[in-house]
Amino acid sequence: MKKRGQITVFIVIGLLILFTFYLLSREKRESIEDTEIIQPELIPVQQFVESCSKELAKEALFLIGANGGYIYFPEWIDRVPGRSLQNSPNRDIRNPLWWFDGTLAIPPLAQIEQDMARFIQDRMPRCLNNFSAFNRTYAIEELGDLKTAVILGDDQRLKDDVTVRTQYPIKVKDRFNTTLAELQKFVITLPIRFQRTYNLAKLIMEREKKDFFIEEKAIDLINMDPKTPTTGFEFTCKKKIWQTAQVEDRIKKLLEVNLNHLKVKGTKFDPDAILPYLGDTVPDFRGKLTAQQIKEASQAGSPSATRDNEKDFSYLNKALSDTYKDSYYYAHYVWDLARDPEPYRNFRTNFQFDRSWPFLLKASPSKGPIMETNAMKGSKFLSAFCLHTWHFTYSMEFPVKVTLVDEKAEKNDGYTFSFAFQAKLTKNYPDPTAQDFTTMLRRDIYTSDEYCADITAENPVMVLIARDLITDEDISKVNMTFTCGRYACDIGQTKPDFTNRGAPSLKKQLPQCTNGILRGSKANYEDAQRFINTEIERIYTLPMQPVKYFNISVRKHMLKDIGDSGSGIDFAGERLLGNGEEALVMVRYPPKKFESFAIYDRFPVSLDDPIQSSLKLLAKEDIEYEVEVYLSSNKTITGGYIANWTASKDQIKLGENITFHIAEQPHKVGEEFKESDDIAILFFGALPAISEKLPPPEIK
């Protein structure tokens, strides 16, 4: 029995080893299958397909982030009034409520992946445009249907990146109808931590429906605000009356200002941040308490009062701290989700209610538009005694929007995700039950011109700054546009502001938008963009990368002999490219994910045939680039250059042209090149060593 038990243990261990080997082999195989090795001259075709996939993936992720996980809205969203929050004039940009009348409706991750794949797949043909960009170079034939799959991160493998795999069988032929290659797999990754963002949003929603954290804060605000009547009495014979509309407006202001100070424990926020001036939109104890009493009330759990102006309420500066960590908010508005906060250290959270959003309020008791006290008369022995009492409860329904921002870091790009839910109270208690709710649509759809002109005195003046990413200087004459959903506004140029030491900026009122895109363009800079929220911040800086374009030329150096192992390298001399030859130049700088490529052809087919002979490089800094150049002749790779090359900022500033020197495989001069497998294998194996013997790229 003992031996039999030992044999069983060995069998189990053996099975575990085999299973582990299978998983590792499968992962390795999948990794290899994702990569398709192609000829260097076909790299532009591959990059073209992948660039379409990447741009469409970015567009899809923007819509998903703006719409709380949706690209295509289910029918039930429009069928039920109030089922979505639309705080944009574009009906394609809205937030279906994740929690509504007792129903939880978080879009599953698998559904988001399917919708994103559908979005990319439907729009790829239009982006590719039958490969018309390559009509003069290649004939590209479709061999099968285009199919797309999306993976929004992988928790099992601890991978955060978004992966888009496109299956698109195509055949590439040259001008002589000779098949060069058949391509079918195109894989791109975006360093966006979508699944982590989605998990945080889902966690907040699940804890809200369990804790009713928002509803509890709303009740606290009402109970602690002396301007909002709750329970009390007063020795008076005169009836007290409140206008219900005014009380409603007061509660909306309390929610709008105070919910904005909610934070999530473990996420990124500055406890030493100075609280902004809040005016008369927080619970107000002024005129009723001394400075010492206000301080004691704050320490006991009352929201910090604020001043209308420094002169009349300067004592509040002494009584209360202006920093977030010393305020009531730090003690009561930091939400502990009771989960490991480590994965969300780089996230910022924002909770928002806008007083212009739909809001239902019912105060009990009330008489139409007014709320009044109850009079209590004294006995016949105390006929002069008068007492008025009141006890009001509030039933409310209002939307709350949560915006999560995963800030750009070394290993990931930034990403913004918003979702909304319904907060609901019945007679001062959180209410998870189902009742009717009014439609949450703010505006009808209108044109871009109408949207861009929708500016009122309440729209704040935004300060928009374009800043050189290298010199950190503010840039003048940058053309700026503002986009919200499908609406685009030309908003002007940055120019010197002599009220601010002449620093260039653009001061502009913008229409309301919580997920707008600010874009900037200027010659000698890469186009830049960033998300902005016109309802939160007033100053936005747009970093812009300086670049410069160069004319290029290519000179070839034919090898006399390679030698047995790349030794004894010698060249026959320098020559221009011949007829039928072209060079593909690729320059990369991985730390900034920078890539630039150009095709150099000394003999264009016709004067009207466009040649991409200009190359873009980063400006104003010393950069060590990875350089690859491949020479092709009659559809055969005949030479190349592979090396690292440092371009100094002074060379970039003064130069206009770049000459690349490449090595050519040995062959008889004057005869048509005939490829030899043995020579080609030896040549390309030794190409890095050969390239060291060539002159580096020259800037003049």
Residue 114 is classified by DSSP as H
**Helix segments in 402-525, DSSP class H:** 448-452
Residue among 550, 559, 551 nearest 662 (CA): 559
Given this model, what pLDDT does residue 202 score? Answer: 94
Who has greater pLDDT, 362 or 514?
A: 362
Residues 608 and 648 in one domain: yes
Asked if 515 and 576 sit in the same domain, the reply is no
Q: Mean pLDDT throughout 104-127?
A: 92
Average pLDDT over residues 81-88: 78
Q: For residue 583, give the nearest of 554, 605, 612 by alpha carbon.
A: 554
Asked whether residue 352 is assigned to any structural domain, the reply reads no
Query: Which pLDDT score, from 0 to 100, does residue 93 have?
Result: 86
Query: What percent of the chain is modeled with pLDDT above 70?
Result: 78
Most trustworthy range by pLDDT among 100-109, 410-419, 433-442:
410-419
Q: Quick check: 328 and 301 in contact, CB under 8 A?
A: yes
Judge whether residue 480 has pLDDT over 70. Answer: yes
What tokens appear for 309 in the block?
């102006």
How many helices (H) and strands (E) the chain has is answered by: 14, 37
Of the listed ranges 131-145, 482-496, 562-576, the least confidently predicted one is 562-576
Domain membership flag for residue 163: no
**Which of these ranges, 1-10, 144-153, 601-610, has the smallest mean pLDDT?**
1-10
Across residues 16-34, what is the average pLDDT? 47
β-strand pairing of 547-561 with 657-664: parallel
Note if the bond before 365 is cis, omega within 30 degrees: yes
Question: Do 557 and 690 belong to one domain?
Answer: yes
Structural domain containing residue 532? 448-544
- Is the pLDDT score of 578 beyond 80? yes
Q: Are residues 572 and 525 in the same domain?
A: no
pLDDT of amino acid 669 = 52
Residues 159-168 pLDDT 10s: 789 999 999 9
Residues 497 and 582 placed together within one structural domain of the fold: no
**Domain end (from 485, 513, 544):** 544
pLDDT of residue 303: 40
- The two tokens of residue 273 are 């941040």
Write down which residue in 481, 512, 544 finishes a domain.
Answer: 544
Quickly state the pLDDT bin for 192 (edges 50, 70, 90): very high
Parallel/antiparallel/unpaired status of strands 103-104 and 99-100: antiparallel
Residue 190 falls within a domain, yes or no?
Answer: no
Instruction: Dump pLDDT digits (tens) for 381-401.
Output: 444 456 777 888 899 999 999
In a domain, 72, yes or no: no
Per the DSSP assignment, residues forming a β-bridge with 552 are: 658
Q: Which of 544, 560, 592 is the last residue of a domain?
A: 544
Are 575 and 639 found together in one domain?
yes
Same domain, 465 and 597: no
Q: Closest Cα to residue 547, out of 598, 621, 494, 476?
A: 621
552 and 569 in a common domain: yes
Tell me whether residue 338 is in a domain: no
- Give the per-residue pLDDT at 581: 86
For 239-248, the pLDDT digits (tens) are 889 999 999 9
Give the pLDDT confidence score for residue 644 in this predicted structure. 95
Section 480-507 average pLDDT: 87
pLDDT (0 to 100) of residue 443: 35
Residues pairing with 493 in the sheet: 479
| Strand 429-430 relative to strand 495-497, pairing | unpaired
Same domain, 495 and 618: no
Same structural domain for residues 534 and 671? Answer: no
Asked whether residue 593 is assigned to any structural domain, the reply reads: yes
Q: Are residues 579 and 692 in the same domain?
A: yes
Q: Identity (one letter) of the amino acid at 292? A: Q
pLDDT tens-digit map of 524-537: 998 898 888 787 77
Q: For residue 493, what is the domain's CATH number?
A: 2.60.40.1120
The answer to whether residue 479 scores a pLDDT higher than 50 is yes
Q: Do 97 and 421 touch, CB atoms closer than 8 A?
A: yes
Any domain includes 633: yes
The model's pLDDT over 631-672, given as tens digits with 9 standing for 90+, comes to 888 767 888 999 999 999 999 999 999 999 999 887 655 555
Question: What average pLDDT does range 611-616 have in this prediction?
Answer: 73
637, 656: one domain: yes
Kindly indicate the confidence band of residue 446, based on its pLDDT and cuts at 50, 70 and 90: low
In a domain, 591, yes or no: yes
- Residue 657, pLDDT score: 93
Assign 17 a pLDDT band (cuts: 50, 70, 90). low
- Helix, strand and coil in the chain, % to nearest 5: 30, 35, 35
Tally of domains in the chain: 3
Q: For the whole prediction, is pTM greater than 0.75?
A: no
